Structure formats: structure tokens, C-alpha cells
Amino acid sequence: MAMITKNEVLKLADENSSFCVSIFIPTHRGGEETLEGQDKIKLKTQLKEVKAKLKSHDFSDKEIEEFVQPVAELINDSEFWRHQSDGLAIFLSKNTFKKYTVPVLFEEFNYVSTEFYLKPLMPLFNGNGLFYLLTLKSDEVKFFEGTRNTITEVITPEEVPSQLQDVVGYDYEQKNLQFRSEQQGNMKAGMYHGSGEGDAEELNEMKRYFRAVNDGILTMVHDDQRPPLVVCCQDFQFPIYEEVNTYQNLYSEHISGNPDDKNINQLHDEAWDLLQPYFDKTRQEKLDLYSEYIGTGKASADVNMIIKAAIEGRIDSLFVQNGAEIFGDYDKDSQEANVEVEETDTNISLLNLIAVKVFEKGGSIYIMEKEKMPDENHKKVNAVYRY
């Protein structure tokens, strides 16, 4: 899996075409569901619905088949389906075809309008527990992208060395120097067990290796995405990695132990155990602000007010109910929205419009379950303003 970056989402947000198709389906990493083709059946179903929507816009059958061909080709691509995560997002227009395998469990959904539907991607960027996990050994490096409920391995580029010997130029295991880790008070410290200069040489080689890993990772995390990065490694290795790290949000605690001793689910559980207080604290602070500010002009649950504030870049935190939708017409000149009961061939998703504008302006977006939304009376969208 390759990561989707904020800049890529911003490019999708800039796309405006007569027909922009967005498709989301939940997927499986493997197992019977993959072997039985359940995921491709879901895509086939969504594509059928998209074709029907295009047909209602007076597309001919030939025009429809030509337009959706890139998506149709995925359905029978067995290699493609063997490399899935928790969700698949597809974006198609006259000039664009993008597909993203991401660690977000989507509901099956399609959207045909003049813009792409990007709201379901927001958990990858703002306030929903996105984190990175790096597992370090002398003979293997792995990188993962995770959220509150999911985790997926990311294919690392050539810039990330796969083992120490790729950096130091000879087989590390044949050096015959042993190392051991010691706990000293509350500090995790590492010591090499050998003789003087050999210890220093060994330490310098590991620093070179970890520095190369760090530099390679920085080529993967583009633009201003800075979720916390958790490292899984032996205790003595973490202070060494900390010393050479230049990533701005390396988490101060690490997962202790040999990564080989933990499967992907264990790694996710241990990473989330470390990070949950970090994420919960930030989110709760924003929820408390909403309760404090509502009624003072510093927070709102009014769709029209929130749209205007989003476009003007005045929203600090946006809370959107998971699975909820508000459709309607929007007048760019007056910045007024006309809310309608359901989706039509001509209206748009107002919640998508709001989320994209907040995303573009650097606000935080929280996709939340209905019962956890901050406003008891208005549960679809709430906002805290910047002041």
C-alpha cells in the first residue's frame, strides 16, 4: 500500500468537472472474503449504481462504458484484490483516475456530482487517531499506517534501507559483538558488550543505519501530515533512534521488544494503548470548547453559518456525524445553502463541502458516532470557531 497525502487530497478537492465519480467500499486484507471475491462484488454493485446515475444524465451506453472503463478493469484484476487494506476509495472524472487502499473502514457508497466526495478520507488526516508505526531490527524495517481501529503495512521506498548491512557495507551479524540493554532508573539505556573502540564503532554504525531509516521515512510523509510515529524495537535501540530522528512528532514512548515476536494485531493494540490518551485528550479539549462556546458566537450547529465560516477559514474544529448527510444547493455568491430532504441529480453534499473547506484551511475534523456528537439537539454537524 502507498500512502495518500494531504496534497493529493487537495488536488482532488480542486477538481471540478461535469461528472466526478467517487466510490467507497470496505475491503479485506485476505482470507475467505478475498478468495470468494466479496470485495470485487461490492465494487461491481457500486459501479452498476454509478452507471445508472450517468444514464439519467443522458449518457449513451457506449459513453458510459468508455468513461468507467478504468474502474471496470479493476473488478477482474486478481492481483489488485490481493493487496487491500480496510477500505478502497476510487475517484474518476474525465481527466482523473485515482484509487487508494487505506486503513479506514468505509461504508459502501457512491457519489456522482461536479466535485469529488472526500469526507470519508478525513479520518486519515484530522483528529481520528491516525498514527505511523515503525518496526526496527538490524535485518528488517517495516512501516505501518494505523487508525483507532485499523492498521496497514506501507510499502517503503528504496530510500528506506531494509537492513543494517545495506548502510554499513558488510554483514552486521558477523561482527561478533554482543549487545545488551539495561534499565537504569526510569531511563532505558543501551550498552554494547565488547571492548572500547569496538563498542563505539558498533554504536556509530547503528546510528548511521537509523539515520538512513529516518531520512528514508521523511521521503514518505509529505506536506504537513504529522501524526505521531511510534517505534517498536529493543529498549537499547530507542534512545539511539531518538538521537538521529528528525520527524517532528516521534512519540516519546516506544513498544518494547523484538517486532518478530508480535503479529500485526498485537502491534496495533500496543501502539493504540500508548497513543489513546494522546488522541483522547486533544479531542476532549475540543468537545469541551464546544460546550463552553455554544451560544456565545464562538461555536455553531447551523449549517449556513458553518458553511460560511468554513469558506472563510474560521473553523478550528469540525464535528461530523459518521454516516450522516445533508444535501442541498449552494450559492457561491451569497454563500447561502438551501437544505433539501434527499440527494438529487443536481444538488450536492453540504457536509462534504464543509469538510473539504475546513480541510483546505487546516482545521481539525472529527468524524464521530451520533451519540458522541457534542450538540444533543443538532447532531449532524457542529463547529468551534477560531478566535
Which tens digits make up the pLDDT trace of 62-105?
999 999 999 999 998 988 998 888 899 999 999 999 999 988 88
* Concatenated DSSP letters of 210-240: HHHHHHHHHTTS-TT----EEEEE-TTHHHH
Contact 112, 45 (CB under 8 A): no
Average pLDDT over residues 286-295: 95
pLDDT at 376: 87
Up-side HSE of residue 302: CA atoms within 13 Å toward CB?
13
Nearest one of 301, 294, 307, 318 to 348, comparing CA atoms: 307
pLDDT at 282: 84
The three-state secondary structure class of 201 is helix
For residue 135, the cross-strand partners are 142, 232
Provide the percentage of residues in the chain whose pLDDT is more than 90: 57
Which tens digits make up the pLDDT trace of 180-220?
444 333 444 444 444 445 578 888 989 999 999 999 988 88
Which tens digits make up the pLDDT trace of 329-358?
988 888 888 999 888 888 999 999 999 999
Q: How many Cβ atoms sit within 10 Å of the Cβ of residue 308? A: 18
Rounded CA gap, 89 and 24, in Å? Answer: 5
The domain spans of the chain are 6-124, 131-281, 294-385
| pTM of the predicted structure, to 2 decimals | 0.75
Which tens digits make up the pLDDT trace of 243-270?
999 999 999 999 999 999 999 999 999 9
pLDDT at 33: 60
Average pLDDT, the chain: 86
Query: Selecting from 3.30.420, 2.60.40, 3.40.1350, 3.40.190, what CATH number does the domain 131-281 have?
Result: 3.30.420
Which tens digits make up the pLDDT trace of 47-63?
999 999 999 998 999 99
Average pLDDT over residues 141-146: 91
What is the distance in angstroms between the CA of the first residue and the CA of the last residue of the chain?
A: 39
Evaluated on CA atoms 306, 311, 312, 316, the torsion sign reads positive
pLDDT at 307: 94
pLDDT at 224: 62
Write down the CATH number for the domain with range 294-385. 3.30.1330.30
pLDDT at 190: 46
pLDDT at 31: 60
Provide the percentage of residues in the chain whose pLDDT is more than 70: 88
pLDDT at 32: 59
Contact 231, 136 (CB under 8 A): yes
Contact 350, 336 (CB under 8 A): no
Contact 56, 345 (CB under 8 A): yes
pLDDT band at 291; cut points 50, 70, 90? very high
Dihedrals phi, psi of 32, to nearest 5 degrees: -60, -35
Structural Rg of the chain based on CA atoms: 24
Nearest one of 117, 112, 120, 143 to 216, comparing CA atoms: 143
pLDDT at 35: 58
Rounded CA gap, 9 and 98, in Å? Answer: 10
Integer angstrom CA distances of residue 64 from 54, 102, 117, 126: 7, 27, 20, 35
pLDDT band at 30; cut points 50, 70, 90? low
Fold classified for 6-124: 3.30.960
Rounded CA gap, 113 and 21, in Å? Answer: 7
pLDDT at 188: 40
